């Protein structure tokens, strides 16, 4: 696509200062960025708030040629980096609680990255609720019926460490499936061990009651030198997974080839050898933009250095390296495609028997209405796909029957004069339109 190379080059050049404090999360940002105020009729301040880098338009990570393995790896790294660096602010303060964190989002505070919240939706689900010109969170669209914004946000938007990495890799590797969580990143779901080690492949996840192994046990069994040899194989887009028996875990993505330093006897020096990673962490990190000086509160880390010794250290987080068949040259790139199964759709009733299928996870599915003479499209509904729907196959085969009833009860639609479309956005940002017809009663 025409935007791919430009976006990819820009994202790979992004750096943030102070992101490599790998010991833990910083407290939430409290300093509000620069604001301009005016006095209105009620003598109340009116904020004119714009982030440094509003996204402008949806990024697309699609190829107009058969990509090389290096290009696929770079695309996955760039997409995750975009998810970690997109800037935004909220005009309404809210809080979100998860099983591992409680995060407060302050009004008119600069943030960077998809929030560590919610059901592991994609970057594109999040961008659907940002104003592209200003980066403002569209709270009125996210929470149209009022109520507590935090609860609505948590049920619809947000991601986690493994979800952010998983969606990015799934933009170019359709061999991966299952829930995008650390304890589901196993061979049955397309995540392959990187290097000469194995683990129990008969259970669905690490850390569950029926699992025979945790990543700590794998490291203990193989020892430092063997695992260092596996870390040495890390390339951009490969992941590092930690999972313990308490069902806690973390996922990080390598952004560069591992740097390997050897001792005089030929063994790998774990303190000098390292890999550069990016990841999302609960709580986030304060960051300062080097160009503008503005303070941000990021939801992850960019270009953070981990030595092999740190990756192996079982007292903290012990990681195993994983990859995909596409990244190993074992499976060719599969060109994204979306199709409609069932009868042809010529009226809303036909949607009851229609299913949209895709060979990559769908990120969003939107139903639009438009006057037959053109003009602005009115989005009637949107579905945001989650990690659970990827696991259940809904994100690659979505039943459109629910759309039929929403159309039949819409009094704004004019028979023969309203054009109805369904647009699908894939994990790489491409948009397909599998449904396009003029509404009829």
For 210-265, what is each residue's pLDDT tens digit?
A: 566 788 888 999 999 999 999 999 999 999 999 876 667 899 999 999 999 999 99
Q: Residues 184, 256: one domain?
A: yes
Q: What is the reported pLDDT for 145? A: 85
Residue percentage of the chain with pLDDT more than 70: 85
Same-domain check for residues 316 and 209:
yes
CATH number at residue 410: 2.60.40
Residues 140 and 186 in one domain: no
E-only strand ranges, 289-337:
295-307, 320-323
pLDDT on residue 102? 79
Among 55, 66, 54, 81, which residue's Cα sits nearest to residue 3?
55
Residue 332 counted as domain residue: no
> Is 171 domain-assigned?
no
**Separation of alpha carbons 129 and 224, rounded Å:** 46
Number of domains in the chain: 3
pLDDT, tens digit, for every residue of 148-175?
899 889 889 999 999 999 999 999 999 9
Question: Over the stretch 278-330, which tens digit does the pLDDT of each residue have?
Answer: 999 877 788 887 788 888 888 899 999 999 999 999 777 899 999 999 999 99
195: left (phi over 0), alpha (psi -120 to 50) or beta: left
* One domain, residues 342 and 396: yes
Pick from 21-30, 370-379, 425-434 the range whose average pLDDT is largest.
425-434
62 and 199 together in one domain: no
Confidence label for 407 from pLDDT (cuts 50, 70 and 90): confident
Give me 44's structure tokens.
Answer: 């109340």
- Please identify, among 130, 162, 194, the residue that sits at the C-terminal boundary of a domain: 162
**Average pLDDT value for residue range 326-349:** 92
Q: pTM of this prediction?
A: 0.87
Give CA–CA dist 70/192, Å, rounded.
Answer: 18
DSSP state of 196: S
Which structural domain range is residue 83 located in? 4-162
**DSSP tag of 186:** S
Summarize pLDDT for 47-89 with one digit per residue, the tens: 457 788 788 899 999 999 999 999 999 999 999 999 999 999 9
pLDDT on residue 212: 63
């Amino acid at each position: 696509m025409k935007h791919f190379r430009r976006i990819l080059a820009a994202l790979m050049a992004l750096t943030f200062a102070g992101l490599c404090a790998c010991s833990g999360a910083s407290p939430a940002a409290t300093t509000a960025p620069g604001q301009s105020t005016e006095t209105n009729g009620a003598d109340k301040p009116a904020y004119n708030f714009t982030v440094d880098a509003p996204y402008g338009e949806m990024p697309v990570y699609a190829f107009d040629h058969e990509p090389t393995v290096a290009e696929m790896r770079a695309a996955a790294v760039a997409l995750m980096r975009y998810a970690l660096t997109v800037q935004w602010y909220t005009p309404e303060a809210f809080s979100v609680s998860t099983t591992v964190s409680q995060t407060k989002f302050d009004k008119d505070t600069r943030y960077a990255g998809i929030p560590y919240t919610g059901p592991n939706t994609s970057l594109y689900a999040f961008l659907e609720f940002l104003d592209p010109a200003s980066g403002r969170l569209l709270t009125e669209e996210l929470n149209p019926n009022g109520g507590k914004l935090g609860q609505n946000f948590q049920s619809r938007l947000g991601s986690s460490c493994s979800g952010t990495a998983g969606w990015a890799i799934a933009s170019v590797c359709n061999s991966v499936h299952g829930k995008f969580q650390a304890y589901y990143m196993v061979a049955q779901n397309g995540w392959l061990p990187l290097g000469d080690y194995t683990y129990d492949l008969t259970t669905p996840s690490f850390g569950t009651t029926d699992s025979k192994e945790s990543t700590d046990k794998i490291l203990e069994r193989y020892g430092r030198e063997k695992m260092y040899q596996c870390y040495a194989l890390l390339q951009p887009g490969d992941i590092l997974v930690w999972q313990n028996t308490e069902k806690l875990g973390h996922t990080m993505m390598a952004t560069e080839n591992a740097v390997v330093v050897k001792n005089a006897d030929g063994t790998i020096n774990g303190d000098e050898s390292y890999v550069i990673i990016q990841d999302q962490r609960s709580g986030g990190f304060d960051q300062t933009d080097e160009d503008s000086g503005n303070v941000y509160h990021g939801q992850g880390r960019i270009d953070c250095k981990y030595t092999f010794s740190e990756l192996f250290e079982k007292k903290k987080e012990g990681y195993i390296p994983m990859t995909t068949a596409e990244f190993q040259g074992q499976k060719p790139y599969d060109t994204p495609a979306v199709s409609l199964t069932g009868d042809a759709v010529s009226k809303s009733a036909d949607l009851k028997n229609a299913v949209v299928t895709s060979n990559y996870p769908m990120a969003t599915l939107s139903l639009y209405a438009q006057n037959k003479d053109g003009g602005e499209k009115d989005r009637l509904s949107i579905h945001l796909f989650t990690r659970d729907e990827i696991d259940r196959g809904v994100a690659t085969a979505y039943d459109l029957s629910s759309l039929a009833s929403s159309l039949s009860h819409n009094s704004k639609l004019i028979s023969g004069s309203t054009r109805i479309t369904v647009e699908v956005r894939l994990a790489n940002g491409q948009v397909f339109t599998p449904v396009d017809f003029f509404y009829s009663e």
